[in-house]
Chains A and B, each alone.
Chain A
């Protein structure tokens, strides 16, 4: 391939940012100094020269963090260094919302305008900022800062939420939740003055884990304790016992225990984890590399459980992944973390380093000859990259567009090799399963919903936060546990499972929160979201925001979803404005038809569920007559 560049040159800073990420270029072929003696006529690297594509996303991050935007010159230099066509690098960079391809101020506030924050005043914050700083996206504070509207930041228990980032030689990020307009302005000013605190956030168990004092917690028992930062403390609280045991048991036995435990994935699709691992284990003889991926992209509106676990108990995530490595034969693992989680990134990075130093990751884990290491990858603002095949493309340096299945990830996943993708919560269940045994774990819970579950309780609820229960309780019990309905106290609706989930009505509160129980009433547990709305909320506005979310987040690859989410949002807007084409009835019928086509013909789960919350509301209430 003959790569062609436009005339745009990178600046010194841009070059430095790229070189810091990739190392200095070695020859003039990849952007180094021209030295006729050493590289006048030959290109070194061979096949290797074209195999760096997977470094693209981190390199784009490096430029964005240092400069605040990605210029044509920077795109050219990245392309040169990685041996990629600039058109493709541009195509990838323009896929992610955290990357700016137009010059942008160095200090940016992302202010959540999503549904949980809507119940806690995000609209007022945004309109206040509009009047003090000007419209979203426009430079303010003499061109040094800007604010943007953002989808859910995964801080819903502390809603309303915002995040400020500054670019430069030492880029910083700072989370603000609960946020006020004044608080956001102050943080922007601090950013402009270079006074943003180093620590991106602090974990407050009081705010995020209301059950923290309870002695019965299993998955959450360490959150907020010293074991979040200290490996020694983690080990003192039975940490890494399970890994030791798993290595002794061997792959077959580990897989058997996980199958026996009836553990179903907690990322939304509820697939048996043991089956996934077994599929990889059975392919070990083929000698292909295997991968395990921890899906920490958590961008479903209303979801924040994985964040709290990663911030509070990062070693448990690593231990779960390492046990997955024992079972699957993977030697390399990735954690794909959403870009808006700076504190989780810090905690995980620290934990990975500590584990490596202690011989719990690396060439010879626990001296038992196990080889496994973990790389942390940060997303860049794309909900769709949580879909497992889009996630592969994102890591590989392609646009985060889902792939058609089959082939399934267990056969052809990351780099087209057998891959197991597991949610954070799924993985932290694993050490418990190994310690207590699969059969014992399977007895916890109800029916086919075995074990423990984390719930993201938010919206109009007295004590929002992450809650842990064994499966089997009802929605009513969970709401009571969280202190009951807040706001004006009169419950109107509960959204289960997030934007891709379903609304349920107050008369359905006795539904058991199990996979089967929710399915029976046409709902879903999804990612464990339980979002309450009091009866002052205009549900139509919530539906509009959900429709807008899908419109913003569709990858745009397949027609039913790319155009469907736009037509759905337009139709809804007409209905809300009481200006239907024809009657409201014809419009609702059209919404149903569009929903069916999106569900039936879209490539991935995003398009397939983009109408589900809307349709669940249409099934329960007559909102538009």
Chain B
């Protein structure tokens, strides 16, 4: 045994703890958006530049913490010299660009994208939709009542969350969160093709037979409520979900030493769900099964013991 063990000692670095090098200074560049000149650091996107000018660009598939997939196309803008519109969320700003964010062409494409989605997907629990639909005067009803939709039975195959793909706009966020952008578990992927493309485990096997580790990070990024905590789903079904009665408190996860930030949502004195702030440097919005779902002990402890 002992002669198999490595002899070398692991060297312990001496001296002061090395410091991270200062961030490389990024060159600034200028571009024009809606007639105004704006200066942004190299590597910024058109979306960043527009934000700097206070221009509010609609986004659905974009999230700060995920690699842009630029698939929803609701953020498109008109770039001078480009044959087509370009996605603000992923297109890098270049010096001298001239961009329009509210031209007729832009408004038409954004309106159609919203109408396409709202006519094929149940957007009733997607918080961004009412505002966007109104802003672009979108009328999803104009395609008639007999249009094809993604309506399908809701999937309830485990105790922690519910997947209702009738509400899925196929933004790819959950796949990214489950995969290389956060969890590296790869339980779900996009399957099928065209209008039949959908989020799926292999052969649509139940989550309980899949690679899922129930971190709930997909729920954390889902913009439509297609993925939902079972606690929230059940309260909504019962008609008791009421965000106006809810409070949020930030705390540190009690389980391990990583120190993840938890946002505890409670309603009527009970925890209804746990999330984590996207901009928190430890979690970037991601948690594990314990932090995300292991809160029931709070309620158990509150009961008097006999």
Name the one of B84, B142, B189, B194 contacting A88, with C-beta atoms under 8 angstroms: B189
Given A4-B211, A91-B190, A399-B190, CB of A564 within 8 Å of CB of B112: yes
Complex CA distance for A248 and B148, rounded to whole angstroms: 60
Complex contacts, A553 vs chain B, CB 8 Å: 194
Whether, in the assembled complex, B231 has its beta carbon less than 8 Å from a beta carbon of chain A, the answer is: no
Q: Mark out the residues of chain B between 132 and 185 whose CB falls within 8 Å of any chain A CB in the assembled complex.
A: 142-144, 146-148, 169-170, 184-185
Nearest CB of chain B from residue A243's CB, rounded to whole Å: 36
Complex Cα gap A565–B197 (Å)? 14
Q: Which chain B positions have C-beta within 8 A of A75?
A: 202-203
- What residues of chain B lie closer than 8 Å to A597, measured between beta carbons? 108-109, 111-113
Assess the B113–A560 pair: CB atoms within 8 A.
Answer: yes
Instruction: Give A74-100 as 1s and 0s: 1 = Cβ < 8 Å from B's Cβ atoms.
Output: 011000000001111111001101000
A95 to B73, CA, bound (A): 22
A230 CB–B CB distance under 8 Å:
no
Q: Which residues from chain A contact B87 at a C-beta distance below 8 Å?
A: 404
CA distance A581 to B146 in the complex (A): 11
Q: Flag if A85 contacts B112 (CB, 8 Å).
A: no
Q: For the complex, give the distance between the alpha carbons of A76 and B209 in Å.
A: 13
Chain B residues with CB under 8 Å of A564's CB are 112, 116
A553-587, CB under 8 A of B: which get 1 and which 0? 11111111011111100110010000001000000
Contacts of A567 in B (CB 8 A): 116, 119, 143, 147
- Tell me how far the C-beta of B70 lies from the nearest C-beta in chain A, rounded to whole angstroms: 5
In the complex, are the beta carbons of A6 and B202 less than 8 A apart? yes
The verdict on A563 contacting B203 (CB below 8 Å), with A558-B72, A599-B84, A600-B76 known, is no
User: Which residues of B are found within 8 Å of A601, using beta-carbon distances?
Assistant: 73, 76, 84-85, 109, 112-113
Any chain B CB within 8 A of the CB of A266? no
CA distance A3 to B184 in the complex (A): 10
In the complex, whether A596 has a CB less than 8 A from a CB of chain B is yes
| Given A91-B190, A559-B116, A559-B117, CB of A596 within 8 Å of CB of B184 | no
B205 touches A6 (CB 8 A): yes
With A87-B187, A101-B203, A603-B71 as known contacts, state yes or no: A563 contacts B193, CB within 8 Å. no
Please tell me if A608 contacts chain B, counting CB pairs below 8 Å.
yes
- Chain B residues within 8 Å of chain A by Cβ, number: 51
Distance in angstroms from B179 CB to nearest chain A CB is 8
Chain A 599-617 interface mask (CB, 8 Å, partner B; 1/0): 1111100001000000000
The answer to whether B143 and A556 have CB atoms under 8 Å apart is no
Is B17 in contact with chain A by the CB < 8 A criterion? no
- Chain B 73-96, CB-CB to A under 8 Å as 1, else 0, gives 110100000001101001010000
Known: A560-B73, A599-B84. A87 touches B202 (CB 8 A): yes
**Is A247 in contact with chain B by the CB < 8 A criterion?**
no
Q: Name B85's closest neighbour in chain A (CB-CB).
A: A600
| CB of B28 within 8 Å of the partner chain | no
Contact B70 A603 (CB under 8 A): yes
| Interface check A162, CB cutoff 8 A | no
The answer to whether B143 and A570 touch across the interface, beta carbons within 8 angstroms, is yes
Q: B202 and A72: CB pair below 8 A?
A: yes
Among B112, B117, B186, B190, the one with the most A-chain Cβ atoms within 10 Å of its Cβ is B112
- Contact across chains for B192 and A560 when beta carbons are under 8 A apart: no
Any A CB within 8 A of the CB of B196:
yes
With A1-B184, A597-B112, A600-B105: A559-B71 Cβ-Cβ less than 8 Å:
yes
Query: Are the CB atoms of A72 and B190 closer together than 8 Å?
Result: no
A141 at the interface (CB under 8 A from B): no
Q: Is the CB of A581 within 8 A of B144?
A: yes
Across-interface contacts of B187 in A (CB, < 8 A): 4, 85, 87
B178 and chain A: residue at smallest CB distance: A87
A551 at the interface (CB under 8 A from B): yes
A346 CB–B CB distance under 8 Å:
no
Docked-complex contact B193 and A555, CB < 8 angstroms: yes
Q: Does A117 contact B (CB under 8 A)?
A: no
Chain A 1-21 against B: per-residue CB contact (8 Å), 1 yes, 0 no?
A: 111101100000000000000
| Complex Cα–Cα for A86 and B204 (A) | 11
Shortest Cβ gap from A74 to chain B (Å)? 11
CB distance from A551 to the nearest CB of B (A): 7
CB of A590 within 8 Å of the partner chain: yes
- When distances are taken between beta carbons in the complex, the residues of chain B under 8 Å from A554 are 193-195
Q: Does A516 contact B (CB under 8 A)?
A: no
Q: Is B210 an interface residue (CB 8 A)?
A: yes
Min CB distance B47 to A, Å, is 14
| Cβ distance B167 to chain A, nearest Cβ, rounded Å | 15
Smallest CB separation, B77 vs chain A (Å): 10
Most buried by B among A6, A559, A593: A559
Is B203 in contact with A560, judged by CB distance below 8 angstroms? no
A317: B residues at CB distance < 8 A: none
Bitwise interface map of A from 368 to 405 toward B, beta carbon under 8 Å scored 1, else 0: 00000000000000100000000000000001000010
From residue A489, how far is it (CB to closest CB) to chain B in Å? 39
B246 contacts partner chain A, Cβ-Cβ < 8 Å: no
Q: Are B148 and A566 in contact (CB under 8 A)?
A: yes
Interface residues in A301-317 by Cβ distance below 8 A to B read none
Query: Is the beta-carbon distance between B70 and A404 smaller than 8 angstroms?
Result: yes
Instruction: Among B116, B169, B188, point to the contact of A87 (Cβ < 8 A).
Output: B188
Contact B186 A88 (CB under 8 A): yes
- Closest beta carbon of chain A to B6's beta carbon, Å: 14
Identity of the chain A residue whose Cβ is nearest the Cβ of B116 in the assembled complex: A563
Q: How far is the CB of B131 from chain A (nearest CB, A)?
A: 18
Bound together, the chains give a CA A90 to CA B175 distance in angstroms of 14
Residues of A with C-beta under 8 A to B63: none
Contact indicator B200/A91 (Cβ below 8 Å)? yes
Q: Which residues of A contact B170 (CB under 8 A)?
A: 556, 559, 562
Decide: A563 near B120, CB < 8 A? Known: A85-B189, A556-B196, A601-B109.
yes
- Residue of A whose beta carbon sits closest to that of B204: A90
Tell me which of A72, A551, A560 contacts B116 (CB under 8 A).
A560
B105 to chain A, nearest CB (A): 6
Provide the residues of chain B in CB contact with A86, threshold 8 Å: 202, 211
Instruction: Indicate if the CB atoms of A563 and B71 lie closer than 8 Å.
Output: no
* Chain A nearest Cβ from B192, distance in angstroms: 5
Cβ–Cβ contact B202 & A559, under 8 A: no
Most buried by B among A6, A72, A85, A553: A85
Across the interface, do A90 and B203 meet the contact criterion of CB distance under 8 Å? yes
Closest to A571 in B: B143
B195 touches A556 (CB 8 A): yes
Check A593–B195 contact: CB distance below 8 A.
Answer: no
Q: B190 contacts A559, CB within 8 Å? A: no
Separation of A581 and B12 alpha carbons in the complex (Å): 76
Residues of B within 8 Å of A95, CB to CB, are: 191-193
B210–A87 contact, CB under 8 A?
A: yes
CB of B146, distance to nearest CB on chain A (Å): 8
What are 15 of the A-B contact pairs (CB < 8 Å)? A85-B187, A85-B189, A87-B189, A87-B211, A88-B189, A382-B193, A556-B194, A559-B170, A566-B120, A570-B147, A590-B143, A600-B84, A600-B108, A601-B84, A601-B112
Q: Can you add 7 more A-B contacts, CB < 8 Å, to A87-B188, A567-B143?
A: A90-B200, A560-B112, A594-B112, A600-B84, A600-B109, A601-B84, A602-B73
Closest 9 CB pairs of A and B: A85-B186, A556-B197, A4-B211, A563-B116, A597-B112, A91-B189, A86-B202, A601-B109, A90-B202
